[in-house]
């Protein structure tokens, strides 16, 4: 069967020919006729088998007839990169139809997206979170929706979008056609299919199995030698003979420029906030499409080429002096691990890009474009960031961290061997990964060959704590708005206190009332400054005596009240009179 034998419009066949498609894949042969009949479709097929065209062509065919300027088709994807990729495929397949499409996802401004929706589009490719946001704001009207597609259904569940998808299903018209495409069918996806689809046509083509053109290999290695082993493998494939020709480094298919090797990418400064400007017009499908050193050794590589592999393992199944005519995609479990590995690989002179969810959308798209065009020979990525990507240059997929499930393994290695091309999947296996490896082998239907890299020293010791680089200081917390908190100046230490003088007993007679007792200098000065009273002024003398009995020159109380309730100082002055 050819595409011309399918009941497709001539304009769509022209788009198919422009993309270089000649014969439909098995999933396309079975899913396109069922979708053209108007039935709901549940399609299960391995990654890289042409699922996007399997629903895009029937979608475009249905939209050729009917009103324009209304949202009539909605495609839901789990990640931004996959949404852009689907949007690009739809544009190219419908390049002669003049249907308009747009993308909706988070990480970018919401107002330009709202203005594009108001100008009138027929196709929307969206991620669930931002899509529901537009629905709540009233920016998107789905009353005229004819086709709903849930792509990568298993990924929608794994990434926690199941509740969002259920909310979306409640907002779309009951009469619209619904299609669900997935590479695997876990229990949760089966439940989602039961809720979303009505009497669907089930299409299953090599579900839960990788492409037959992918070669699998496991590389047992101690955990502390995974990075040196990966460096050695990449140097042998991407930079053959680099040790003898230091100073020249080039990506496959790119002419090497003699001179200084490429410096590793420096960490970029934080993205400046986007300035508001006029929104872009919706993409017209009929419009044009823009497709768009030396080797360093560090302490991790000490002794990496000291001897033969040995151990009875088969040798590496690719010639070490054979340059790699393609690109390598390296999967890491966490975004922190991806950034750390990217920095370590860049130090070897390789052109390495990093793709992880913490990057801004602008940097993520620039990294993907650089990997597609050959600017980067190696891309270090996390599972979420690289889910569903279709990059034909990828010939090798390296699992730096063993995936936790067999489904995750199938999704990872589906980035290579696409469209019946040959590919290689290599997994670095640490001693604690054997349980996950058994699950992978069970999904593949047999054991996977264990290999060792010839010339690599698997007995190299781990870096000692004394030789390790010092830890970076903790990052300073920031206030809302990105402002740094002001550091408070350190307070001067208080001077040591002088030991307190012993206080007199409560009912003791003050020194002023004792005849002949020496008085403090301050008290004597105060006494000499007062006017002298005459002999008949005994009342004034009593008041002076009471004043003296109050406080002395040092600020201490000179007396208290006696047992009779009177002042001790007062009684002393009366007795003196």
CATH code for the domain in which residue 337 is found: 3.40.50.300
For residue 522, tell me if it sits in a domain. no
Distance CA 200, CA 349 (A): 52
Q: What is the mean pLDDT of residues 226-248?
A: 64
Residues 220, 185 share a domain = no
Instruction: Label residue 525 exposed, middle or buried (CB < 10 Å: 0-12, 13-18, 19+).
Output: exposed
Residues 244, 137 share a domain = no
Residues 226, 198 share a domain = no
Phi and psi dihedrals of 557, rounded to 5?
-75, 130
pLDDT at 161: 86
Residues 188, 234 share a domain = no
Q: Work out the pLDDT band at 68, boundaries 50, 70, 90.
A: very high
Sign of CA dihedral 517, 521, 523, 529: positive
Residues 219, 198 share a domain = no
For residue 89, pLDDT over 70 is answered with: yes
Mean pLDDT of the chain: 73
Residues 149, 17 share a domain = yes
How many separate domains does the chain show?
2
What kind and span of H or E run contains 451?
none
Residues 236, 195 share a domain = no
Instruction: Average the pLDDT over each of 135-149, 203-217, 273-287, 490-504 and give the range with the smallest value.
Output: 273-287
Residues 223, 200 share a domain = no
* The domain boundary residue, chosen from 406, 436, 459: 459
pLDDT at 490: 55
Q: Work out the pLDDT band at 454, boundaries 50, 70, 90.
A: confident
Instruction: Average the pLDDT over each of 147-151, 476-480, 514-518 and give the range with the smallest value.
Output: 514-518
- Provide the pairing of β-strand 147-150 with 73-76: parallel
For residue 467, tell me if it sits in a domain. no
Cβ contacts of 401 within 8 Å, gap of 6 or more: 331, 332, 333, 337, 428
pLDDT at 318: 37
- Residues paired with 43 in a beta bridge: 181, 203
Question: Domain range spanning residue 410?
Answer: 214-253+282-459
**Separation of CA 334 from chain center:** 8
Distance CA 184, CA 204 (A): 10
For residue 489, tell me if it sits in a domain. no
Q: What is the mean pLDDT of residues 106-111?
A: 91
Residues 152, 177 share a domain = yes
Instruction: Label residue 159 exposed, middle or buried (CB < 10 Å: 0-12, 13-18, 19+).
Output: middle
**Separation of CA 508 from chain center:** 78
For residue 123, tell me if it sits in a domain. yes
Q: Work out the pLDDT band at 52, boundaries 50, 70, 90.
A: very high
Instruction: In the chain, count H helices and then E strands.
Output: 17, 14
pLDDT at 219: 94
For residue 117, tell me if it sits in a domain. yes
Residues 36, 161 share a domain = yes
For residue 543, tell me if it sits in a domain. no
pLDDT at 530: 54
Closest CA to 235 of 350, 132, 328, 346: 350
For residue 6, pLDDT over 70 is answered with: yes
For residue 88, tell me if it sits in a domain. yes
pLDDT at 300: 34
Q: What is the mean pLDDT of residues 561-575?
A: 43
Residues 221, 201 share a domain = no
Q: Work out the pLDDT band at 471, boundaries 50, 70, 90.
A: low
Q: Which of 25-39, 233-247, 301-315, 491-505 has the highest mean pLDDT?
A: 25-39
* The domain boundary residue, chosen from 406, 435, 459: 459
Asked if 152 and 181 count as a contact pair (C-beta separation under 8 A), the reply is yes
For residue 542, tell me if it sits in a domain. no
Residues 7, 111 share a domain = yes
């Amino acid at each position: 069967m050819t595409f011309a034998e399918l009941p497709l419009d001539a304009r769509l066949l022209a788009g198919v020919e422009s993309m270089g498609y000649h014969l439909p894949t098995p999933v396309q042969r079975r899913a396109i006729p069922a979708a053209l009949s108007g039935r709901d479709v549940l399609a299960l097929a391995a990654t890289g088998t042409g699922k996007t065209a399997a629903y895009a062509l029937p979608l475009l065919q249905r939209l050729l007839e009917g009103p324009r300027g209304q949202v009539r088709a909605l495609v839901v994807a789990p990640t931004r990169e996959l949404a852009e990729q689907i949007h690009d495929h739809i544009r190219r397949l419908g390049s002669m139809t003049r249907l308009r499409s747009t993308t909706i996802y988070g990480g970018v401004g919401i107002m330009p997206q709202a203005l594009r929706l108001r100008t009138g589009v027929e196709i929307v490719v969206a991620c669930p979170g931002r899509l529901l946001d537009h629905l709540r704001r009233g920016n998107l009207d789905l009353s005229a929706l004819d086709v709903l597609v849930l792509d990568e259904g298993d990924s929608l569940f794994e990434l926690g979008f199941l509740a969002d998808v259920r909310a979306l299903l409640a907002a779309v018209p009951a009469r619209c056609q619904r299609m669900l495409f997935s590479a695997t069918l876990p229990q949760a996806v089966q439940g989602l299919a039961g809720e979303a689809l009505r009497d669907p046509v089930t299409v299953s083509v090599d579900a839960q199995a990788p492409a037959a053109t992918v070669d699998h290999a496991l590389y047992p290695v101690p955990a502390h030698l995974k990075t040196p082993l990966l460096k050695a493998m990449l140097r042998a494939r991407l930079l053959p003979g680099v040790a003898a020709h230091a100073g020249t480094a080039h990506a496959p298919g790119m002419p090497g420029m003699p001179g200084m090797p490429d410096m590793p990418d420096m960490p970029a400064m934080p993205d400046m906030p986007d300035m508001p400007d006029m929104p872009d017009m919706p993409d017209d499908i009929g419009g044009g499409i823009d497709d768009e050193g030396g080797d360093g050794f560090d302490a991790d590589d000490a002794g990496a080429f000291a001897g033969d592999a040995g151990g009875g393992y088969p040798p590496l199944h690719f010639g070490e002096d054979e340059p790699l005519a393609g690109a390598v995609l390296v999967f890491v479990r966490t975004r922190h691990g991806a950034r750390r590995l990217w920095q370590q690989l860049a130090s070897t002179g390789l052109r390495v890009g990093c793709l992880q969810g913490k990057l801004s959308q602008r940097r993520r798209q620039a990294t993907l474009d650089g990997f597609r065009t050959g600017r980067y020979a190696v891309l270090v990525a996390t599972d979420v960031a690289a889910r569903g990507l279709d990059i034909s240059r990828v010939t090798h997929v390296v699992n730096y961290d063993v995936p936790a499930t067999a489904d995750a393994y199938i999704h990872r290695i589906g980035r290579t061997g696409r469209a019946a091309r040959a590919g290689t999947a290599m997994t670095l296996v640490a001693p604690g990964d054997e349980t996950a490896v058994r699950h992978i082998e069970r999904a593949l239907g047999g054991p996977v060959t264990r290999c060792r890299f010839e010339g690599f020293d698997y007995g190299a010791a781990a870096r000692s704590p004394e030789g390790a680089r010092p830890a970076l200081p903790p990052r300073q917390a920031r206030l809302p708005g990105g402002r740094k908190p002001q550091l408070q100046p350190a307070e001067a230490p208080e001077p040591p206190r002088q030991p307190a003088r012993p206080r007199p007993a409560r009912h003791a007679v003050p020194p002023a009332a004792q005849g002949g007792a020496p008085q403090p200098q301050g008290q004597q000065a105060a006494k000499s400054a007062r006017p002298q009273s005459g002999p008949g002024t005994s009342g004034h003398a009593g008041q002076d005596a009471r004043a003296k009995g109050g406080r002395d020159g040092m600020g201490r109380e000179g007396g208290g009240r006696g047992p009779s309730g009177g002042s001790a100082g007062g009684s002393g002055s009366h007795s003196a009179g």
